[in-house]
A and B are shown apart, each in its own frame.
Chain A
């Protein structure tokens, strides 16, 4: 039996017996077969000594049980690692950040505690998935829409806690920003509610985010300060209609005016739906995580230029595109709401973007929602329609890399300035890495406008079951991080294998941020039992008692290379 770090067999056995008294023996998992399910299927350390595997898993059913489990864990100094649905593929799956932790699997806590159509919110427990919430809304015939990530099996709460994102309207896309009120079991076993929820009997917990005093909700995003047992989320009324509109511009560098102009439209809330950058010339759509298929270049001359092993010559590409009358860029808009609003939005979009020479605008028919079921069945991604699915798993180059079967992806997810210049720089820089390591994917990948004011440049790197190839991928990620950091681009989220590496890049004033987070950690979790190491936050004793073991970015990077 695997043991949690620094815990004796005797203590572990005693603790497991006490855990079982709380949850019932059938909800304590220690067999290899059961623990296999808590491995990260997309681990870049699969089968290696430093793969992060659990020593046991517990599945409580209520917040009260969570309180008791946390107290026991404290008594025995056992590291616990809460997960909601544990489908965090690409960012760590169900595996703990620290090997040997006991996973607290909260899937059984799957109650929709409250849903309010009038005020547009829901309160969920951790085990409620996007599929569950969608189905509940359908069953009850509620006039509400959800914003979901590409995989619908994830937890509404777990996804938000990891900083996850969706694809509908801007105020709902950042799932943590859409939350309103957290109930959390702190590492000492004390239950706390944030915001208005701190007032017993409060009637506005899910209606007023700031609450009274400091707004601390953000402390529970990408951290390890407690087990979140409930969370409220703002939901949107279902839009009456949807329409897609496309604006094309002819030249490569037109992306600068395109991004600036759309940015102004977003800042003034005229553009609220997600827009996608794509290229008719390259045949590629913008958001690799959400869109399907290999590139389909329009023209053989263009294809030849794109296939040049030395890289794409943009000047040649531009003239080939212009000779074939193919615009270089397009921006695809999703527009929602009453017909009058969609048409008015579109007028504003065309008026603003029409100032770019050669721009062309086309609004597709305004479609009443919901779309007919037959039509939904044929769509690749139903996310923009507020409908969860798992179709994202049926695409992607899951074939082979370096002669090894690809079994998944690990995401490298830097945040890039929302300018055309930065987009060009990032595309070219990352394309060079793609070529250098012959990574699968289109010759140029584009940034995504999923965040409101910055670009996300999510790159899925192939994961295999070969330690050698995975080591190479870890090396490529380190190189990407180095390149990005040098340009001032930081990652928004990462898998546990890179927590230290990435946290090491947020090093302003000798790691003041990390030190602050760890000061809080020391105060709320002196025994360091709660998800130690998650997002590189540790309590004193696991830092070696005298500050961080690897004080410089360089050392941290070396540490995470092991």
Chain B
């Protein structure tokens, strides 16, 4: 049986043929990895320096799930579209500016930003805890560091790092179900 996870892995590996951001993904999914956790991938904003507290967690996550580089360019966009199309839930670590873009791209695939924690780059230990919980599939309704999902500054200059989950909602979205088609 092919799990949805394995399908996503295939999609991401296929995407790796298109360029360097994709290439970083190829091979991150260890052969044979299967998990029933709902989180399909971890998205990392490469335009901000990752807090030290989160680096180790990201490395550990690589063993169990695809870690996708988020840059706001055409190459990464293609990978991201596939990722959004094929996922039920994604965890991300990013600036507010990148989250702003990602949230809107995600809407077009029926996803919504459901949980978010933030910290300004200096003390990220609470953020590490939130990220670990999110990655384990937990979606705490209330916990220290949690912030209202939609109320964030869409900025990169403020040095704030956000950890979040976007997930597919049951209501059908406004957006696109597939890539641009050829007719």
Contacts and interface: CB of A to CB of B under 8 A. Distances in A.
B181 A399 contact: no
A390 B105 CA distance: 11
Nearest to B78: A135
Interface string B132-176: 000000000000000000010111111000000000010111111
B171 A34 contact: yes
Contacts of B72: 389-391, 393-394
Given A107-B174, A127-B176, A152 B77 contact: yes
A141 to B, nearest CB: 13
Given A107-B108, A111-B182, A389-B73, A394 B176 contact: no
B104 interface: yes
B48 to A, nearest CB: 9
Interface stretch (A257-265, A332-340, A370-378): A370-378
Given A87-B104, A112-B181, A390-B101, A131 B157 contact: no
A407 B176 CA distance: 26
Interface string B100-128: 11001101100010000000000000000
Interface of A: 26-27, 29, 31, 33-34, 37-38, 41, 57, 59, 87, 105, 107-108, 110-113, 127-129, 131-136, 138, 152-153, 373-374, 376-377, 382, 387-391, 393-399, 405-408, 465
A373 B19 contact: yes
A59 B74 CA distance: 26
A407 B95 CA distance: 14
A37 B71 CA distance: 23
Contacts of A387: 73-74
Nearest to A134: B74
A395 B178 CA distance: 30
B183 A107 contact: no
Interface string B66-93: 0000011111011001000000000000
Contact of B20 (A127, A138, A374, A396): A374
Contacts of B151: 465
Interface in B12-30: 18-21
B14 to A, nearest CB: 12
B56 interface: no
Given A34-B174, A399-B158, A135 B169 contact: no
Given A29-B174, A34-B171, A373-B20, A398 B154 contact: yes
Contacts of A132: 179-180
Interface of B: 18-21, 47, 71-75, 77-78, 81, 95-98, 100-101, 104-105, 107-108, 112, 151, 153-158, 169, 171-183
A382 B76 CA distance: 13
29 contacts: A34-B171, A37-B107, A57-B174, A59-B174, A87-B104, A110-B180, A128-B180, A129-B180, A131-B74, A131-B77, A131-B78, A131-B81, A134-B74, A135-B74, A135-B180, A138-B18, A377-B20, A377-B21, A387-B74, A388-B77, A391-B72, A393-B72, A393-B98, A393-B100, A393-B154, A395-B156, A396-B157, A399-B155, A407-B154
A33 B171 contact: yes
Contacts, number: 133
Contact of B73 (A37, A59, A391, A398): A391
Contacts of B75: 373, 376-377
Contact of A382 (B74, B97, B101): B74
Q: Which 6 A-B pairs have the closest CB atoms?
A: A132-B180, A398-B155, A390-B72, A26-B172, A389-B73, A394-B97
Nearest to A376: B73
Nearest to B81: A131
Contacts of A34: 171, 173-174
B57 to A, nearest CB: 23
Secondary structure dominating the interface of B: loop
A46 to B, nearest CB: 12
A37 B81 CA distance: 18
B174 A37 contact: yes
Contacts of A405: 153
A111 B180 contact: yes
Contacts of B98: 393-394
Given A387-B73, A388-B74, A399-B153, A394 B174 contact: no
A390 B77 contact: yes
Contacts of A389: 72-74, 77
Contact of B155 (A31, A108, A128, A406): A406
A37 B74 CA distance: 24
A405 B153 CA distance: 6
A37 B108 CA distance: 9
Nearest to A136: B180
Contacts of B172: 26-27
A394 B97 CA distance: 5
Contacts of B97: 393-395, 398
Nearest to A139: B18
A407 B151 CA distance: 9
Contacts of B105: 153
A390 B183 CA distance: 27
Contact of B180 (A41, A133, A376, A396): A133
Nearest to A27: B172
Contacts of A398: 96-97, 153-158
Contacts of B104: 41, 87, 153
Contact of B183 (A26, A87, A111, A388): A111
B174 A408 contact: no
Contacts of B180: 110-112, 127-129, 132-133, 135-136
A408 B95 CA distance: 15
Contacts of A37: 107, 173-174
B174 A113 contact: no
A135 B78 CA distance: 8
Contacts of A29: 171, 174
Contacts of A393: 72, 97-98, 100-101, 154
Given A33-B169, A394-B98, A108 B177 contact: yes
B83 to A, nearest CB: 14
Nearest to B45: A394
A301 B77 CA distance: 44
Contacts of A107: 108, 174-176
Given A135-B180, A374-B20, 8 more contacts: A41-B100, A373-B19, A382-B74, A391-B72, A393-B154, A394-B97, A398-B157, A406-B153
Nearest to B71: A377
Contacts of A399: 153, 155, 157-158
A559 B129 CA distance: 51
A289 to B, nearest CB: 15
Q: In the complex, which of the residues B72, B74, B78, B81 has the most CB atoms of chain A within 10 Å of its own CB atom?
A: B74
